[in-house]
Each structure stands twice: as C-alpha cells, then as structure tokens.
Structure 1
Amino acid sequence: MDKTSEEKKREHQIKVKATINQKLIESGERERLKELLRTRLIECGWRDQLKLHCKEIVKQKGLENITVDDLVSEITPRARSLVPDEVKKEMLQRIKAFVGQQSNA
C-alpha cells in the first residue's frame, strides 16, 4: 500500500524536527534556550502561578492520595496554556534564527 502525501509530509516533518533538535543539542543552543525559557517563565510569574496551582491540587486531593505523575498530568495542560504568547514568540524566533544560521553555514 502506498503512503499518502499526508503521511509522507508527516514523516518529513518528523525528520526535520529530529535534525533541528540534534543540531540544537550538538551546538549547545538547546541548553541556552532552555535556560532563557526558564528565566522568562520566572520573570513573568508563570512558575509562581504553577506552584500555587500545585498546592491547590494537593490540598484538594490530599498529599497521600496523589502521586507526582498524577500531579504532572493534571497541571500540564494549564502550564502550557499559561505560557505567555510573548515568550512563545521569542523562543520560536530564536529557533528560526538558529535554523537560518545553520542553513547559511
């Protein structure tokens, strides 16, 4: 059975993402981006908001009735939605700039 163009496109996207990620790791840029993201999230109060949310969940369910995995799965959607658009845009711009530098090298 032949692959559809959508399947081929999806496979290509996965390969491109893997290549970009590998280059980010090899160059050390991934760690720099992670540190920048960590700093930006602290600056905008994201981290504090999540801490409060975690405390609320633990208080509701009881410390003995919740695992770390439960907590992570419960806060992940909210954590993602609370990342400010400016932070997302900055990170995306930096990744695009990195990819542009790599393709010019």
Structure 2
Amino acid sequence: MKHSVNRPPTPDGVVDQGKEPTLQEIINIKLIESGEKERLMELLRERLIECGWKDEMKALCRAYIKKKGRNNVTVDDLVHLITPKGRASIPDSIKAELLQRIRSFLVSTAL
C-alpha cells in the first residue's frame, strides 16, 4: 500500500473499538470496501494527465532540481515544494467531477 507524505494511511475498515467512527471515516470505509475509491483515484490520474497537470508538476520538479543541483535535493524537498502548487492548480472542473461522483456514490449507497 502506498502512503502519502501528507496524510496518514487509509484505514483498512478497522475502527477503534472504544469510539464511534466519524461520518468521514464511515464514508472512507464504504468507498474502500466497494472499490469506488480506487476507481476515483484512477479517474483523477487520467484527468490530471489529460489536462497537462502531471507534466506541469514534473517540469516544476525538474526546474527545482536543476536550480538546486541533483545531489542537493531530496524527495521531501520536492513534496514540500510541489504539494501546495499542485493542489492549487488542479482544475475546478476535475474537482467538480470527482465531487459529483462521490455524491452519486453516497446517494446510491443510501449512506
């Protein structure tokens, strides 16, 4: 399982026995169990490639590496540089499409 630098790993459906899961945790578990989360992630990857976002981020990384020198850059440096710019530059149309797909999923599961 891949882990993001900026967020904890996704729960595997196991919630602490002592507390009630939040609505966000319940939705996340349902998305994982149904396989919808993986489908949404694949859709996001496709859309980001289609709109040129991935190439733009790659170019930013290459420019930073060239500026700092190959031996003076870590993956963490790149993540900290790219994450805010990357999140801010995702087209609104892609965000809206994903939000609509999530809403449709929630309606269909009657959550």
User: For each residue in 1:37-81, what CA deviation from the matched residue of structure 2 results, as whole angstroms up to 9, or x when unmatched?
Assistant: 000000000001001000011111111111001111110000001
- Which runs of 5 or more structure 2 residues have no equivalent in the other structure? 1-19
Aligned residue in 1 for 2:83: 76
Structure 1 stretches of 4+ moved >3 Å:
none
**Percentage of pairs with the same residue:** 53
Aligned residue in 2 for 1:28: 35
Alignment match of 1:98 (pick from 79, 82, 105)? 105
SS, match of residue 72 in structure 1: helix
What does 1:7-26 correspond to in 2, within 5 Å? 15-26=22-33
CA distance in 1, matches of 2:69, 2:83: 19
Query: What is the root-mean-square deviation of aligned Cα atoms in Å?
Result: 1.5
- Considering fraction of residues, name the structure with more helix: 1
Instruction: Give the TM-score normalised by the residue count of structure 1.
Output: 0.83
- Which runs of 5 or more structure 1 residues have no equivalent in the other structure? 1-11
CA distance in 2, matches of 1:63, 1:17: 40
Number of residue pairs the alignment of both structures matches: 92
Alignment match of 1:58 (pick from 55, 60, 65)? 65
